[in-house]
């Protein structure tokens, strides 16, 4: 198993100079050319070939020194000498910051560039594939981490205070809503679609069960209301039986016969109620008063606290299910969302369009602020910080320039010496 590479060490918040080896190589090559020059000059009279070596080493030293000066002049003054147009980066730090910001603004944060970059990107499908695939470790960690974070936030908040805030927000919205016309429209739609029939059946069955549970009460009521003659002859009991039997028969007929007149009367009553809820000012005002009294009732607040605590406990239990078990509803919800994003082209089109418009809008609205942040951040850096950061990023490549300058300079020197010999 390969062990992960350690992060590069840092000094004072900046990465350690990674170009040191290449700098030593370039300097060593320059020193080698100087030594070769001394050797070639010493043996120049022994053989004509030493002339080519001498030309190579001499031109290589010139090329290497010239490139050393050029590279060094970018970041500092060579040998500390106040030579004009040296230490270019430290001396022009603010101008470089403005140039970087302008380049970023003109080439990356224009609406046309952002829209073109996002036009061929299916962000929704990529996000959906990442969320839906349980094999993706990052996706699993996101789900588990988000669930744990949500659970911790839910636990850290005062349950009673949070419940009161949720109740307050919910009740404020209900208070703004005129419920009577809404109830009337819902009832009218249910009647039109025939969805009120099961309600009527349930109401009739409930009436039958209520009548059965209260037979003794009805008998006693009839017995007390009957006169002495009826009680003496026992007709009050027969009257009670007749009343109960008639009611049971009526309810049974209503249940069996969908066209029973009583059903029609109930439907007429429901239709009138639906119309009154929508158009009767007095009934609408009465419903609104009832709604206000219900919201203001302390018993409703007590009931809501119990409901909220059960909801909160249930949410915590679902969020705290074992990580990676796939059983948590939060995890299942994210996975289901991922599958919809991955497999639904219409949904992808809408989300991608929304994302594209959002990012373009951000670039238009906040593009200047973003580039200003880049510019001001660079300007706040001191000259040494800017120099170290840029040199740490490109210093290794600049040392290759020195090496190439040394070798190419030497080859040019050989070419010049060869031409000089021919002429």
pLDDT digits (tens, 9 = 90+) for 356-395: 888 888 877 877 787 788 788 877 777 777 777 777 777 7
pLDDT given for residue 56 in this prediction: 92
For the chain, which residues make up each domain, given as ranges? Answer: 15-98+382-422, 178-279
Is residue 257's pLDDT more than 70?
yes
pLDDT digits (tens, 9 = 90+) for 130-182: 777 765 544 555 666 666 666 676 666 666 676 677 777 777 777 777 888 88
**Residues 401-420, mean pLDDT to the nearest whole number:** 89
pLDDT digits (tens, 9 = 90+) for 84-127: 877 777 877 788 788 878 887 777 777 787 777 777 788 888 88
Is residue 3's pLDDT more than 50?
no
- 3-state SS of 131-173 is HHCCCCHHHHHHHHHHHHHHHHHHHHCCHHHHHHHHHHHHHHH
Band of pLDDT at residue 4, cut at 50, 70 and 90: very low
* H or E element that contains 11: strand 10-11
CA distance 216 to 408: 118
For the stretch 27-31, contacts whose Cβ atoms lie closer than 8 Å and that sit 24 or more positions apart, written own/partner, are: 27/68, 29/64, 29/402, 29/403, 29/406, 29/407, 30/60, 30/61, 30/64, 30/65, 30/68, 30/402, 30/406
pLDDT given for residue 141 in this prediction: 59
**Residues 38-62, mean pLDDT to the nearest whole number:** 89
Please state whether beta strands 14-15 and 10-11 pair in parallel, antiparallel, or not at all (unpaired): antiparallel
pLDDT given for residue 310 in this prediction: 77
Cα 235 vs. chain centroid, distance in angstroms? Answer: 79
Specify which residues 15 forms β-bridges with.
Answer: 10
Tokens 């003496």 belong to residue: 232
């Amino acid at each position: 198993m390969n062990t992960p590479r350690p992060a590069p060490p840092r000094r004072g918040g900046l990465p350690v100079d990674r170009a040191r080896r290449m700098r030593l190589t370039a300097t060593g090559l320059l020193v080698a050319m100087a030594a070769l020059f001394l050797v070639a000059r010493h043996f120049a009279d022994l053989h004509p070939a030493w002339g080519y070596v001498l030309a190579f080493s001499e031109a290589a030293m010139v090329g290497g020194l010239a490139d050393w000066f050029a590279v060094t002049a970018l970041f500092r003054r060579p040998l500390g000498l106040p030579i004009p147009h040296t230490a270019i980066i430290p001396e022009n730090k603010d101008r470089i910051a403005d140039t970087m910001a302008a380049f970023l603004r003109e080439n990356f944060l224009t609406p046309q560039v952002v829209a073109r970059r996002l036009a061929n990107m299916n962000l929704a499908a990529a996000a959906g594939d990442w969320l839906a695939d349980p094999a993706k470790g990052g996706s699993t960690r996101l789900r588990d981490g988000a669930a744990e974070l949500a659970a911790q936030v839910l636990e850290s908040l005062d349950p009673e205070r949070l419940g009161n805030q949720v109740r307050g927000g919910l009740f404020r919205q209900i208070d703004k809503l005129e419920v009577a016309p809404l109830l009337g429209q819902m009832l009218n739609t249910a009647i039109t679609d025939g969805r009120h029939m099961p309600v009527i059946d349930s109401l009739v069955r409930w009436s039958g069960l209520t009548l059965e549970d209260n037979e003794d009460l009805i008998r006693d009521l009839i017995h007390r209301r009957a006169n002495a003659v009826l009680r003496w002859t026992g007709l009050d009991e027969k009257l009670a039986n007749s009343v109960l039997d008639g009611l049971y028969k009526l309810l049974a007929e209503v249940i069996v016969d969908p066209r029973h007149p009583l059903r029609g009367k109930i439907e007429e009553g429901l239709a009138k109620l639906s119309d009154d809820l929508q158009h009767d000012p007095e009934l609408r005002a009465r419903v609104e008063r009832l709604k206000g009294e219900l919201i203001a009732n302390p018993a409703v607040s007590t009931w809501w606290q119990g409901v909220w605590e059960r909801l909160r406990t249930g949410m915590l239990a679902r969020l705290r299910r074992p990580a990676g078990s796939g059983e948590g509803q939060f995890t299942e919800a994210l996975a289901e969302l991922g599958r919809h994003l991955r497999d639904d082209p219409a949904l992808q089109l809408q989300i991608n369009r929304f994302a594209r418009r959002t990012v373009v809008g951000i670039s238009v609205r906040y593009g200047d602020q973003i580039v200003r942040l880049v510019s001001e951040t660079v300007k706040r850096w001191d000259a040494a910080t800017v120099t170290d950061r840029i040199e740490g990023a490109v210093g290794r490549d600049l040392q290759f320039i020195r090496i190439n300058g040394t070798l190419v300079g030497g080859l040019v020197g050989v070419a010049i010496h060869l031409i000089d010999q021919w002429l």
